Chains A and B, each alone.
Chain A
Amino acid sequence: MSAVRKPPSFFAGALAEVGACGLFLFAILAAIPRSLRHIKETLRQIWFVGAMSLTIIMTCGLFVGMVLALQLYYTLSIFGGTSALGTVVALSLFRELGPVVTALLFAGRAGTSITAEIGLMRATDQLSAMEMMAVDPLAYVVAPRFIAGVIAMPLLACVFNSLGIFGAHLIGVSWLGLDNGTFWSNMTSSVDVWTDVINGVWKSLAFGAFVTLIATYQGYTTPPTSEGVAYATTRTVVFSSIVILAVDFVMTAFLM
């Protein structure tokens, strides 16, 4: 991965960056069969990017569900439609907020640490040392993190959604006094497994792939200086957020 030396213009530079990132994706995909030997490393990465993110995901999911219920309750009460609270919360969580907010949190919590870790490996020549020892850094360092991200993201989004529903139930039923049966029966009669729940899973799969691709690419190609690592970490968050929201729009347009 040789960095683009002197980009002729901003757009050509951005285009070259996107192209290099795409080629990096193919390199990762090609390295996945070889990385199956390092299954323990993959498991460790799932633990690190997935299980360790559970606290922030669960807390945020609970609060997002609670604030959604509170806001929608006051809006729906204008139309006398508060019985639809469960439906509206569930649909907005499953279709949009769950995958997107989880992906944004994931980029901040796991993406940055992936970039910083790989970037420091690059800066301290650990990646070159691996190559010298005939250990492919793509198969040992990058691919396990990519697989871990793709596996962990949908699971985290599902946890986020569940906690969001729990939070909405807490506010809607326990605090604002909606009927428990109405809350659930309206939700279950309008939420569909395939068009709502599973579409959200597809989205979060794609987000997991994009976030970990950007994070590993930024770390792998960082300039080997402390400033370069800091800059790469920032760019991971910025690019991930932009890509998540843009891809979300495109996927919504295709899936719904």
Chain B
Amino acid sequence: MMQRSSYQIGTGLFILFGFAALAYLATQTTSLANFRQGDSYTLKARFTNIGQLKLGAPVKVAGVRVGSVRSISLDPVKLDALVQISVNKTFNELPDDSAAAVFTSGLLGDQYVAIQPGGSPDMLKDGDEFILTQSSIQLEDLIGKFLASGGPPSSSAANKPEADDATKKPESPSTPSTPSNSSKP
């Protein structure tokens, strides 16, 4: 009679199956799945405003994930945000005039660091800093500016912001300081 050994094999299979399920959950459905952690190198970028950027946020080139945000701190002298990002060693051919920008995925999605490659023949090395950065666009600021300047030109009682008014009055881009090169190559 195989009764005795069959339940022992079954028990072993069950435990194996359970741990396989746990391993599947841990590696395939979580952020570990994005985290083919090979060797990486660190780059620095300064932003006047990082918005809602969080630790571990993705770093993307052309929309493809190449790394993650390692640390966020405030420079006590210059009073801007110092963001350290780690980029996978596979992508070690980023030109040193590349620009880093804090973008939002979707209208209200999470924020990530986008790297827009430049054209320099020299590449960024470990510990280098981005010269060109673009801060996160604050939705509240935009709404505030729109409300402040977007009233109807002839002062009518009904100041419902119409779509036509918005298109007639283009915003003057008054985002301060940091230069940006958002021109597509």
User: Which residues of A pack against B, CB within 8 Å?
Assistant: 40, 43-44, 46-47, 50-51, 54, 90, 94, 151-152, 154-156, 158-159, 161-162, 165, 184-185, 187-193, 196-198, 201
Contacts and interface: CB of A to CB of B under 8 A. Distances in A.
A40 B7 CA distance: 10
Given A47-B14, A191-B30, 7 more contacts: A154-B22, A155-B21, A158-B25, A188-B33, A189-B34, A193-B26, A193-B30
B131 to A, nearest CB: 29
Contacts of B7: 43-44, 47
Interface of B is mostly: helix
B19 interface: yes
A151 B14 CA distance: 11
A90 B29 contact: yes
B12 to A, nearest CB: 8
Interface string B32-66: 11100000000000000000000000100000000
A155 B26 contact: no
Contacts of B13: 51
B21 A162 contact: yes
Given A44-B7, A54-B14, A193 B31 contact: yes
A191 B31 CA distance: 6
Contact of B15 (A44, A46, A162, A193): A46
Given A155-B19, A158-B21, A158-B25, A197 B14 contact: no
B156 interface: no
Contacts, number: 89
A155 B29 CA distance: 17
A198 B23 CA distance: 11
A46 B15 CA distance: 9
Given A188-B29, A188-B31, A197-B25, A155 B110 contact: no
Contacts of A47: 7-8, 10-11, 14
Nearest to B27: A193
A236 to B, nearest CB: 23
B110 A154 contact: no
B58 A161 contact: no
A43 B30 contact: no
B18 interface: yes
26 contacts: A44-B11, A47-B8, A50-B15, A51-B11, A51-B14, A90-B29, A94-B25, A151-B15, A154-B18, A154-B22, A155-B18, A159-B17, A159-B21, A161-B25, A165-B29, A188-B32, A188-B34, A189-B58, A191-B30, A192-B30, A193-B26, A193-B30, A197-B25, A197-B30, A198-B26, A201-B22
Interface of B: 7-8, 10-11, 13-15, 17-19, 21-22, 24-26, 28-34, 58, 110
A155 B14 contact: yes
Minimum-distance CB pairs A-B, first 10: A155-B18, A51-B14, A158-B21, A188-B33, A158-B22, A47-B11, A162-B21, A47-B7, A191-B30, A159-B21
B66 to A, nearest CB: 14
A87 to B, nearest CB: 10
Contacts of B28: 188
Contacts of B18: 50, 152, 154-156, 158-159
Contacts of A54: 14, 17
B93 to A, nearest CB: 25
A90 B8 CA distance: 33
Contacts of A158: 18-19, 21-22, 25
Given A155-B21, A197-B30, A189 B14 contact: no
A126 B32 CA distance: 51
